[in-house]
């Protein structure tokens, strides 16, 4: 009888642990930054980028198309927004299965070419985005702002 109880408790503990581990990605979209502060910093980004939903409603920015639409970037495969022509390095990154999450976004906007060289292990990789957000806090705030404008994303896995 004691062995049976142990077996049942072990199964329950395993089930609970498995459930907790599977639920962890649901919390992956918790953000570090402040969306309100990010809206102010995004003013620097709107020269090239917009945030427009599926219906075409511009939620942020001025409708610029120099850079891709950033709506729903969390969990999106890199270089995959359908109405934008990306540089070869960003396309290659996406083809590797890379998807955007907060840490990667923050690193990317700090220095796009450096980020791509490291991620692709290619010293010739380069980003087409010349603008940089050198302050980590600014980048985290912009990420929080972008996430606040879009529907919940699929958990990122890179």
Q: What is the pLDDT of residues 62-119, one digit of tens each?
A: 877 899 999 999 999 999 998 899 999 999 999 999 999 999 999 999 999 999 999 9
- Assign residue 40 the CATH number of its domain: 1.10.760.10
Q: Is residue 139 part of a domain?
A: yes
Length of the chain: 158
Q: Is residue 158 part of a domain?
A: no
pTM for the structure as a whole: 0.75
- The answer to whether the beta carbons of residues 108 and 89 sit under 8 Å apart is no
DSSP string, 69-96: --TT-TTPBTT--TT----HHHHHHHHT
Instruction: Assess whether 38 and 21 both reside in one domain.
Output: no
Q: Is residue 156 part of a domain?
A: no
* Among the ranges given (10-14, 59-63, 64-68), the one the predictor scored with the smallest mean pLDDT: 10-14
Instruction: Assess whether 18 and 41 both reside in one domain.
Output: no
Range of the domain at 1: 1-30
Instruction: Assess whether 11 and 37 both reside in one domain.
Output: no
Contacts of 155 (CB under 8 A, 6+ apart): 25, 26, 28, 29, 75
Burial class (CB in 10 A: 0-12, 13-18, 19+), 12: exposed
Percent of the chain residues past pLDDT 70, beyond the cut: 77
Count of domains for the chain:
2
- The answer to whether the beta carbons of residues 81 and 99 sit under 8 Å apart is no
């Amino acid at each position: 009888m004691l062995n049976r109880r142990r077996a049942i408790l072990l199964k329950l503990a395993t089930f609970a642990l498995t459930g907790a581990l599977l639920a962890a990605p649901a919390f992956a979209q918790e953000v570090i930054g402040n969306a309100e502060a990010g809206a102010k910093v995004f003013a620097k980004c709107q020269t090239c980028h917009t945030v427009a939903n599926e219906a075409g409603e511009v939620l942020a920015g001025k409708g610029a198309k120099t850079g891709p639409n950033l709506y729903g970037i969390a969990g999106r495969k890199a270089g995959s927004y359908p109405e934008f022509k990306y540089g070869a390095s960003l396309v290659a990154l996406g083809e590797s299965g890379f998807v955007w999450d907060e840490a990667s976004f923050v690193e990317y906007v700090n220095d796009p070419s450096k980020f791509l060289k490291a991620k692709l292990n290619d010293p010739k990789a380069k980003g087409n985005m010349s603008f940089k957000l050198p302050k980590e806090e600014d980048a985290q705030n912009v990420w929080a702002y972008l996430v606040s404008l879009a529907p919940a994303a699929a958990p990122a896995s890179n």
